[in-house]
Structure 1
Amino acid sequence: MKRLLLVLGAVLLAACSKKEPPPEPIRPVLSIKVQALDEQNLGRFAGSIQARYESNIGFRVPGRIASRNVDVGAEVEKGALLATLDPTDQQNQLRSAQGDLARVQAQLINAQANARRQQELFDRGVGAQAQLDIAQTDLKTTQASLDQARAAVDQAKDQLDYVQLRTDHKAIVTAWNAEAGQVVTAGQQVVTLAQPDIKEAVIDLPDTLVDQLPADVVFQVAAELDPRITTTAIVREIEPQAQSATRTRRARLSLTDTPPGLRLGTAIGVTLSSAIKPRVELPVSVLQEVDGKLRIWVVDPQTHTVSPRDVSLISRTDSIVVLTDSVKSGERVVSAGVNSLKPGQKVKIDEDSPQ
């Protein structure tokens, strides 16, 4: 009996010594929510809204500018007066040409009278043929001189009209290159006019970037003072050679549409982006290498446990890794302490983790 009691005691003692293993502690971790990228940002550049069509015009005659009738920024209609020259020289030329015309007209009257007189004498048989021929020749010569004098008067009138610089289309004045009192030559650039109907974005791009632009590049255009005013644009033309001082090439972009806020001269910011296959950028600390394979730890939002997932690497720097779409937007991955995790381990997301 005693022996039986000893055996039962030993059994009870052994049963009491078997304790349940303590639960594995919940491990606090840093994590980050994944946001997949489907566009590649190629940079942001400053530019302005300009007219596609501009014209530099000047006077068709030389002279001293007497007045400037409009300022930069003014909207002018077709035929509007922009500036005038001192018309003194042209007025004198017109008066001189009109005087020559009057003189030739008087000469023509005498030549006509002389030709009639010589014809009458010849018809009565008392005039010589030679005298009649001379009179008729003088009449034709005077008639030709009259035509020349009339042309000279018309030309002088045109020259007088040319002292007024007028627009030949609706436009906006964007620049003046001469001031009142300045003497200009015929054809010298005086004012720049822009046609406001068609606008485009103008930016300077680095020469090295231009050669790398994909065919499907998209330009996002936004006003600098009001970023809510936006539109998109495509390349219309790019200068074939870079500027020697800045090593940039000017690009002109056709706007998809033109919001009212994008007026001529508006300062803009242009962002370049290109569609790419979905990819993910994460801090390099999310990676764990096991047996030559790369993996990350994904947090299950329902059970708050982690599980490993193999990933493929696109590129890597000292701080950033770019992964394929093996991890989706919205998933949360552990961003620190990956080497001490186990599959199925419960974790607590740190409150400072990005949401």
Structure 2
Amino acid sequence: MKRLVMLLAAGVVLAACSKKEPPPEPVRPVLSIEVRAYDQENLGRFAGSIQARFESNTGFRVPGRIASRNVDVGSEVEKGTLLATLDPTDQQNQLRASQGDLAKIEAQLINAQANARRQQELFNRGVGAQAQLDAAQTDLKTTQASLDQARAAVRQSQDQLAYTELRTDHPAVVTAWNAEAGQVVTAGQQVVTLARPDIKEAVIDLPADLAEQLPADVVFVVEAQLDPSTQTTAIIREIEPQAQSATRTRRARLTLAETPAGFRLGTAISVTLSSAIKPRIELPLAAVQDVDGKSRIWVIDPQNQTVSPRDITLLGRGADSVILGGGVKNGERVVSAGVNSLKPGQKIRIDEDSPR
């Protein structure tokens, strides 16, 4: 009997030893995202360029054949820089002719002055006639008027000759040439386009519908496409009243709050439009789990590296995101993918942040 009891006790001990402890819950790697409240609504992102606010189309003030073109597109020129010249032959001939007329009138004036003096002396001695004196004085006045006219003609010819040189009247950047050397142009014909680099603005094309419904508090953030760190804000200066028929867009010109050095003329830019809204939280659609008609998310405990479910209220649902009305605080971290395979209190490992 005693032996039987010992055998039974040994069997119980062996049975107890044969039981295995349940395996620990696996640590699940997850993607996560930090909850952030937004108070700006993104209205779109548009491409554009930096342009000069003031541009001028310049041409010669006299007709002629272009003899030389001295600068190229993109050149920065100072005030008074020679841009192009015309063949000055016609203007030089006109100047020589007017100078010859002036010399002839000057000689006639000398004779008229001498004749007027003689007639005055004869009249004073009582041997000259009043009629002859009057005629001499009239001839002197006429010759003096002709001299003034000839001098004006010379100045005009000199101006015409000077107009064969096209110079800038302010610092500028050459943005376009519309004529080449050897081409005959008329007076006032557009030859070169100059942009003033001191005042720059951003130029973008907005959809006509958006341009008509822009909020009063819209904010424009302008950044260089090649260097997003080069950025500033801007406000609308003007919007074209009529949409372009081909693209159904309206051109908007924006006044920059600042002009960074990277904003050169022609710089490609991206302009983001946003408007102030009531603070809200937006999460990826994959972060939300629907259970029994309710929506919930999995909130991460950063100290214990565990997750727990939490019910939330949705205000809106998009193609790949949702807008929350409550249930989570700004700054908390939630699981952004794989929520259907989680359990309350499960250990997790955060691999990386998911992109927004």
* Number of positions where the alignment pairs a residue of Structure 1 with one of Structure 2: 327
> Which one is further off, 151-160 or 233-242?
233-242
Rounded Cα–Cα distance in structure 2 between residues aligned with 1:171 and 1:37: 46
* Same amino acid, percent of matched pairs: 66
**Could you say what secondary structure the match of 1:252 adopts?**
strand
Letter paired with 2:280: P
Residue 223 (1) aligns with residue 224 (2)? yes
For residue 283 of structure 2, the aligned residue among 275, 281, 284 is: 281
Alignment correspondent of 1:181: 182
Alignment correspondent of 2:10: none
Cα 1:33/1:119, change in 2 over 3 Å: closer
Rounded Cα–Cα distance in structure 2 between residues aligned with 1:55 and 1:185: 18
Q: What does 1:1-355 align with in structure 2 at a 5 Å threshold? A: 33-38=33-38, 39-276=40-277, 277-283=279-285, 286=288, 288=290, 294-299=294-299, 301=301, 302=304, 304=306, 306-313=308-315, 315-317=316-318, 319-328=320-329, 329-332=331-334, 345-347=344-346
**Could you say what secondary structure the match of 1:324 adopts?**
strand
TM-score, structure 1 as length reference: 0.80
Please tell me whether the aligned partners of residues 34 and 280 of structure 1 are also in contact (alpha carbons under 8 angstroms): no
Please tell me whether the aligned partners of residues 31 and 349 of structure 1 are also in contact (alpha carbons under 8 angstroms): no
Rounded Cα–Cα distance in structure 1 between residues aligned with 2:305 and 2:266: 58
Letter paired with 2:285: P
Rounded Cα–Cα distance in structure 2 between residues aligned with 1:347 and 1:256: 51
- The CA deviation string for residues 255-295 of structure 1, in whole angstroms up to 9 with x for no partner, is 2333322211122222223333232233177254768xx54
Alignment correspondent of 1:19: none
Rounded Cα–Cα distance in structure 1 between residues aligned with 2:103 and 2:299: 105
Rounded Cα–Cα distance in structure 2 between residues aligned with 1:284 and 1:352: 16
TM-score, structure 2 as length reference: 0.80
Rounded Cα–Cα distance in structure 1 between residues aligned with 2:65 and 2:96: 20
**Could you say what secondary structure the match of 1:43 adopts?**
strand
Please tell me whether the aligned partners of residues 305 and 349 of structure 2 are also in contact (alpha carbons under 8 angstroms): no
Letter paired with 2:101: D
Cα 1:212/1:100, change in 2 over 3 Å: same
Alpha-carbon shift at residue 184 of structure 1 (Å)? 1.3
**Could you say what secondary structure the match of 2:242 adopts?**
coil
Alpha-carbon shift at residue 347 of structure 1 (Å)? 4.2
Letter paired with 1:52: R
- The CA deviation string for residues 40-66 of structure 1, in whole angstroms up to 9 with x for no partner, is 222222211112222221111111111
**Could you say what secondary structure the match of 2:214 adopts?**
coil
**Could you say what secondary structure the match of 2:138 adopts?**
helix
- The CA deviation string for residues 170-229 of structure 1, in whole angstroms up to 9 with x for no partner, is 121111111111111112221111222222221111111112322333333232333343
Rounded Cα–Cα distance in structure 2 between residues aligned with 1:316 and 1:295: 12
Unaligned runs of 5+ in 1: 1-21
Unaligned runs of 5+ in 2: 1-21
Please tell me whether the aligned partners of residues 61 and 159 of structure 1 are also in contact (alpha carbons under 8 angstroms): yes
**Could you say what secondary structure the match of 1:311 adopts?**
strand
Cα 1:297/1:26, change in 2 over 3 Å: farther
Alpha-carbon shift at residue 137 of structure 1 (Å)? 1.0
> Which one is further off, 300-309 or 26-35?
26-35
- The CA deviation string for residues 83-122 of structure 1, in whole angstroms up to 9 with x for no partner, is 1111111111111111111111121122222222222332
Cα 1:250/1:91, change in 2 over 3 Å: same
**Could you say what secondary structure the match of 2:235 adopts?**
strand
